[in-house]
Structure 1
């Protein structure tokens, strides 16, 4: 079935939802422009083990801080029901995602289940495929130790405790191969190495951060300079762990991504670095931002680079003209903002136990609005819930107004990334614990 061409976003007609519900979608995954080398045989996750990437319609009657919702919560529009059923048409049977199986029984080495933040609006996901988790975990450690040299032996426990393999398999269940998963996993590790070494608890400092970030960014967005100075720049990419990790992860990413996807990722990483700089400037001047200022910073210093590569990891492409549409950008921004507040909530006690003052949403709300720590935390849960419901509502509207199959698949991919991100935070009891506010 030929792949449809780029579609503009038309005004939403009154019968868009009903027409979308009746539409048969044939979603053809485009092969990566440069296929990866043949992999050792690793069983692919069977369709029955993949969670349904859901875009959930919010329940208008539900309170902002209401109880956690499962996948069936809320009222789904016909457009959303069509998304959840998956693609139809010739050649698309392999893309249909079956309902998730019941979680596997806990056994030796099974991840701790953790518990969700009470009142947090979220959608449970099944345990990620353990075969893929094990293989991604093995490969990423080999890459981190032997190729990128991103951590010394004394950091090994922290690296293992991050559980990045489980994280990425949960967030990208539609990845066609383990190497596609590795594309996301290397980038995730590289981003965290830079954050730890430049900004956080492994030698990070706000002093001089701008210069370090700019030079590291050239590992993603290469320097085009005169011949005399090019060797010094190339050598600089090996001088510290963040630059080594960025360079290597980006080289692997370029083997899977189109030129447009690579440029999109560079742009999102520039956004991330801008957010780092704003937070560093506030730290240097001991400035506590207003809540709206903090949320503006977090729109940049957030997870956005991760869900926006969901099409690369899935082996297809959302065309640039669709990705750049304001409605698409709003959905992506809301997803990034909601997932980042999840991080604020789960890492709250970890940051309170760290030296100095760490800005997160509960801390800023308490400081600016004169409420107790508990009240500030519970209000932050409400902020997350409002962002999450806005993301789901806007995604549903977008799916109805622009039923391009590639966009629908991308929206489903972003939605399952949001759910997988919450799953990882909730279950990563090595890193996170909840405050005693209930």
Structure 2
């Protein structure tokens, strides 16, 4: 199947807004990297040094505590590492003449803003990074941005550490699942999504949480014994590994012991312990809130499965705003080693940007996992299936219409990010928007290139 390249802009928004959004995000998608970056005051306070293996706040009896792993050597990027190549904007992009808007397009400048770039754009150009591998074929007509190949040294080190954590620290996977764990390629996934992470330790914060979320999904919901029956109780108890129970002295030990009782809770508990020791209280609370949203979406989908209910397209998209990738891009500042303050994160415009990013990437997942899900027993809900069933379309027509829905969400995301950057050009906010945009593109890259898990339907 030939590579169709990038699809043209097809936003339902006014053309100028869509083009402005695409241009802002194109400029923001290629931060260059150097070792030892520190965020200045204007970029938000740098987070405290990353800890070793955690022990609090989810303490368990010493005899049951997970032993600390041996020391490992971090793999920061070399100072002379090539910068990721800029993603070209469409040829007909509208570039505003306003000086203020031009400053937004090129990012923040001035005293104290150097930490928002890991290398300044005014420096001499660096050699181009190699293009992303040809492995995998992007969905024809799907609007996306290509990304540079993730740093191979970091991918290898993250992959090594996460497998040791999953197998040895939390016993999340039995030996017979090893090939599936390797095939997930989570190291490549997280390095592609967080190219600005100062160290591998920062990358591991996101990687553990990603793996833990997939353990919960596999074991409680889907592939490895999951069931909609009784899911609410299982998710509630697992959520207490993220959001601790404050109870009496008599019953606290039983709760603490329960956190070690199965792979999902062990994974959540350990991943969250690492995260809370590196994040600020505000960042940790933000993540807990987004995980509660995720679990609410799981429960809605499970309720429909129990009653064999096929939701309307509008209902399905509402569910997908909760059962989606949102917890991943919302921690981009923690992984980047800085903080977007709570008042900026809570802005309605920022909440819209994050929601649209989660929605678009989750529909992309529906599209790439379509054939995989068709092989599972029973009716597996995804957007192409729901559109086809509810609107009387063929499988192909439902799939192609789902591609259009994804593209509109992507253009809405880019336009909303551009509008927010123009209205609130705070350097911390602009840096966070850049991180979310890079996460969106890295997420697509992983889906496209993960041919172990995904293949495309024969609709073209």
| Contact 2:202-2:335 at 8 Å conserved across structures | yes
- What are the residue-to-residue correspondences of 1:22-421 with 2, within 5 Å? 28=43, 30-36=45-51, 40-44=73-77, 46=79, 49-51=82-84, 71-72=89-90, 75=93, 77-78=95-96, 82=103, 85-90=106-111, 92=114, 95-96=118-119, 102=128, 104=130, 113-421=135-443
Deviations 1:167-213 (A, max 9, x none): 00000001011100000000000000000000001010000000000
Aligned counterparts of 1:279 and 1:53: Cα–Cα separation in 2: 39
TM-score for the superposition, normalised by structure 1: 0.85
Deviates more, 1:199-208 or 1:84-93: 84-93
Aligned counterparts of 2:95 and 2:72: Cα–Cα separation in 1: 41
Aligned counterparts of 1:286 and 1:382: Cα–Cα separation in 2: 27
Gaps of 5+ in 2: 1-19, 25-38, 53-70
Q: Structure 1 residue 86: deviation in Å?
A: 4.4
Gaps of 5+ in 1: 1-16, 55-69
Q: Structure 1 residue 231: deviation in Å?
A: 0.6
Cα distance change, pair 143–101 in 1 and its aligned pair in 2 (3 A): farther
**What is the RMSD computed on CA atoms of the aligned residues?**
2.4
Deviations 1:231-282 (A, max 9, x none): 1100000010000000000000012110000000000000000000000000
Aligned counterparts of 1:87 and 1:288: Cα–Cα separation in 2: 47
Cα distance change, pair 271–41 in 1 and its aligned pair in 2 (3 A): closer
Deviations 1:117-142 (A, max 9, x none): 00000000010000110110011011
Q: Structure 1 residue 83: deviation in Å?
A: 5.2
Cα distance change, pair 426–192 in 1 and its aligned pair in 2 (3 A): same
Q: Any idea what SS the aligned residue of 2:321 has? A: helix
| Contact 2:50-2:202 at 8 Å conserved across structures | no
Deviates more, 1:358-367 or 1:82-91: 82-91
The size of the alignment, in residue pairs, is: 397
Cα distance change, pair 77–246 in 1 and its aligned pair in 2 (3 A): farther
Aligned counterparts of 1:149 and 1:384: Cα–Cα separation in 2: 36
Q: Any idea what SS the aligned residue of 1:300 has? A: coil
